[in-house]
A and B are shown apart, each in its own frame.
Chain A
Amino acid sequence: MLDIVIVGAGPAGLMAALTAARDGLKIALVEKRRDVSIITRACCQQLIMDEGYEGDTVSAGPEGISFQQSGCMVPYNGPLFPVTRKYYISPGGRRICFDHGDGRPLAVQFDKGRLLQGLWESCAEAGVKLMPATTAWDATDSGSSITVSLTRSGRRSVIEARCALLADGVNSRMAGALGLNRNRTHFVTTQCMVYTLEGVEDPEPHVMKSFMGNIYNSRAPIILYPYFDDPTRMRMCIARNKNDLTAKVYDYARDKASLAPYMKNARIVKAAGCGLRAYSSLLQPRLGNALAVGDAAAFVEVETQGALMCGFRAAKASKDELEGRPGFDGYTHWWQQAFEFNGPDALRVAQGYALTPTYTDEELDYLFGLVENEMLPGSYSQYNTPKYMWNAILAHTAQIDCERPGLLEKIGANMKLTISDTL
């Protein structure tokens, strides 16, 4: 019998398969796509360089992507593009600048298709039984093995293994089938798109820009960011709103406020999309002979670097587990403390920091204007950036209290939980 069936050849599944196969285990890797090198889903395609992000220090070089704490090296020989500056831009064009000031990147873009294809080929060399164009749609745990139901061009089959790693992403069908989602809170189902654009007029194309404001009528800030060092292309990540899909939001937002000047002659040349069910995190990602890894167990996303670490550690844990040691317990302990969304107050804290719809566009202009000439630390992390931003803004508390006491009260009311972090 197979030792492990791994469902999903994203970064978590691929890294798990490669690691486990190199450790001598018999592995099958099931993937619905024919070709992992073609990215059609809106997804993470950069490394987040905040120190200690997800409990590790990541670096990228000619040998590949390496993780100091996890002690692993991920093969990758594709392009790397460092992003050293990020702006948060208010509707009136006031900018908050995040930049280390010494050339250190806050994020490093990589070619996701190339990363996955390289790992896929390494898996083949390592003896993984690769099963592309095969969709896993159901699973059962007998107590001594996991059986996964497969469909391939309409033909049904099953595959059985001693255990399973569920690496099929944020909408994990496997987690649903095996009952792991039973106690998870479903917050929202939402969608976003990543558009590749030509014709964007941008005097600073290497700078990542988040356009914040109620005027854009999107559920999230609209992010305009570089496409490697290609001067002719940019990318945009844009979410739907409550009533309209992203395409409509894009048409509406593109000629509004501070986004408009960039987009006058912009046209979409490629589109990738994502629909996702946002569930609360699975604090206990293991059930019987199955372990959910990466996005399948997360509050939305672990990012590519998180997935690579999850895959590596899950493979090591599986080998321990199969040899009678409590590997899955060890994995769970790491999972719980490495990812900030597994902390008790993470979601409430994040809500307290949120800019829209809490603050009006005029209030955003005012607050961003207070710190416009400062350089905040080069943070990309969704957990650190709000702290740096609010720390910088609230260093001007005396001024806000004098000029806009009502606004200061509103800030205090919204950040009850977080105010001790920021003041």
Chain B
Amino acid sequence: MTMQLHIDDKVCVGCGCCGDVCAQGALELADTALLIPEHCVACGDCIEMCPTGALSLA
């Protein structure tokens, strides 16, 4: 089972810092962070960046 990024919309404040560090272009920004799953390689850089803990790999 491949790892997928999960975004908790209730915790995400929409700062966009996750997308800043995504080298794959897998994160855009609407009111909250928006994952483009086919480009996510589950590297975890975004999780390291997130100030609210809204991101996780599962």
6 new A-B contacts at CB < 8 Å, known A151-B28, A171-B49, A173-B23: A40-B14, A135-B19, A138-B25, A151-B36, A191-B50, A275-B17
**Alpha-carbon distance between A40 and B54 when the two chains are bound, in angstroms:** 14
B19 contacts across to A, CB distance below 8 A: 32, 135, 173
B20 contacts across to A, CB distance below 8 A: 168-169, 171-173
- How many residues of A sit at the interface, in one of the four size bands? 35 or more
Check if A151 sits within 8 Å of B25, measured CB to CB.
yes
Check if B28 sits within 8 Å of A40, measured CB to CB.
no
Tell which of A34, A156, A246 touches B25, judged by Cβ atoms closer than 8 Å.
Answer: A156
Residue of A nearest to B27 (CB): A135
> Of the 9-residue stretches A266-274, A302-310, A395-403, which lies at the interface with chain B?
A266-274
Check if A41 sits within 8 Å of B28, measured CB to CB.
no
**Alpha-carbon distance between A153 and B39 when the two chains are bound, in angstroms:** 12
Check if A33 sits within 8 Å of B16, measured CB to CB.
yes
Judged by a CB distance under 8 angstroms, whether B4 is at the interface is: no
- 4 A-B pairs closest in CB distance: A137-B25, A273-B51, A191-B51, A171-B20
> Smallest distance from the beta carbon of A181 to chain B beta carbons, Å?
11
Check if B25 sits within 8 Å of A41, measured CB to CB.
no
Q: Which of A18-41 contact B (CB under 8 A)?
A: 32-34, 40-41
Check if A135 sits within 8 Å of B13, measured CB to CB.
no
Judged by a CB distance under 8 angstroms, whether B48 is at the interface is: yes
Check if B25 sits within 8 Å of A32, measured CB to CB.
no
Check if B15 sits within 8 Å of A192, measured CB to CB.
no
Check if B28 sits within 8 Å of A240, measured CB to CB.
no
Check if B21 sits within 8 Å of A277, measured CB to CB.
yes
Count B-side interface residues using an 8 Å CB cutoff: 26
Judged by a CB distance under 8 angstroms, whether A126 is at the interface is: no
In the assembled complex, 14 residue pairs joining A and B whose CB atoms fall closer than 8 Å, in A order, are A32-B19, A32-B28, A40-B16, A135-B28, A138-B25, A151-B39, A154-B36, A171-B17, A240-B51, A245-B53, A271-B13, A271-B52, A273-B52, A274-B15
B39 contacts across to A, CB distance below 8 A: 151
A272 contacts across to B, CB distance below 8 A: 13, 15
Tell which of A135, A173, A240, A273 touches B15, judged by Cβ atoms closer than 8 Å.
Answer: A273
Contact bitstring A174-204, B, C-beta under 8 A = 1, else 0 = 0011000000000001011100000000000
Check if A149 sits within 8 Å of B25, measured CB to CB.
yes
B20, B28, B48: most-surrounded residue (chain A CB, <10 A): B20
Given known contacts A41-B15, A271-B13, A274-B15, A189 and B48 CB-to-CB distance under 8 angstroms: yes
Check if B23 sits within 8 Å of A273, measured CB to CB.
no
Contact bitstring B33-58, A, C-beta under 8 A = 1, else 0 = 00010110000000011111100000
A156 contacts across to B, CB distance below 8 A: 25
